Amino acid sequence: MTASADDLAALIHTIPDFPKPGIMFRDITTLLLDPAGLARAVEAIVDAVEGPVDLVAGIEARGFLFASPVALALGAGVLLVRKDGKLPGATIAEDYALEYGTDRIAIHADAFAPGARVLLIDDLIATGGTARAAARLLRKAGAQVTQAAFVIDLPELGGADALRAEGLHVTTLVAFDGH
Ligand code: AMP
């Protein structure tokens, strides 16, 4: 959490029961509409980065929005981690479990040389299933994934701690109770 976590939290609206009953949807569209808030969020992520980064990997779709400005500030490139079937070139993919069923994310197979230092970014970490699958996928392709950043953490769901237990340096800017 940063000093301005309360300010950022106030810019994130909660929509109950979206996209289905029981989900408290943490909506960053209101943060994106606020130039000062968006700048603070990007700066806070950039400030927390440890060591050199070659690529910032953004997870579809809201992760893309933070990956690009963070990459520009770091002098790094942007790597898209997309839902399977969206990337035009040859891909490698990774499956991960959802509450019901599985999902699959993919990257371009030739996106980077082995050893590339990758910072993983998404708007929110909940159970960590998505981010952990992205880290597995990037490592399978030869990346060094040592750090990850999220605007929002839902700590009760344990995703950020699970990533930390796997040895990643994890930055989160705002935490919300519940799921
Ligand atoms: P998880 O894999 O459980 O960590 O879920 C993280 C992914 O699902 C991120 O890409 C989020 O954008 C999205 N997500 C999960 N829960 C929420 C929530 N309560 N509000 C908004 N997005 C969510």
Average pLDDT on 51-59 reads 98
Percent of the chain with pLDDT over 70: 98
Using CA positions, which residue lies closest to atom 13 of ligand 1? 124
| Residue 153 near ligand 1, beta carbon < 6 Å | no
* pLDDT value of residue 100: 86
DSSP string, 4-71: THHHHHHTSEEEET-SSTT-EEEETHHHHT-HHHHHHHHHHHHHH--S--SEEEEETTHHHHHHHHHH
∠ Cα 12 16 21 (to 5°):
145
* pLDDT value of residue 3: 44
CB 48 within 8 A of CB 38: no
Identify the DSSP state of 156: G
Length of the chain counted residue by residue: 179
CB 77 within 8 A of CB 71: yes
Q: Which amino acid is at 179?
A: H
pLDDT in tens, 57-105: 999 999 999 999 999 999 999 999 999 999 999 999 999 999 889 999 9
Q: Global pTM?
A: 0.97
| Residue 132 near ligand 1, beta carbon < 6 Å | no
Residues involved in catalysis: 62, 99
| Residue 18 near ligand 1, beta carbon < 6 Å | no
| Residue 37 near ligand 1, beta carbon < 6 Å | no
Measured in Å, residue 159 CA sits from the centre of ligand 1 at 10
Using CA positions, which residue lies closest to atom 19 of ligand 1? 25
Q: Which of 32, 102, 130, 163 to mutate to test the pocket of ligand 1 (most atoms within 8 A of CB)?
A: 130
User: What are the tokens at 121?
Assistant: 């970014």
pLDDT in tens, 124-146: 999 999 999 999 999 999 999 99
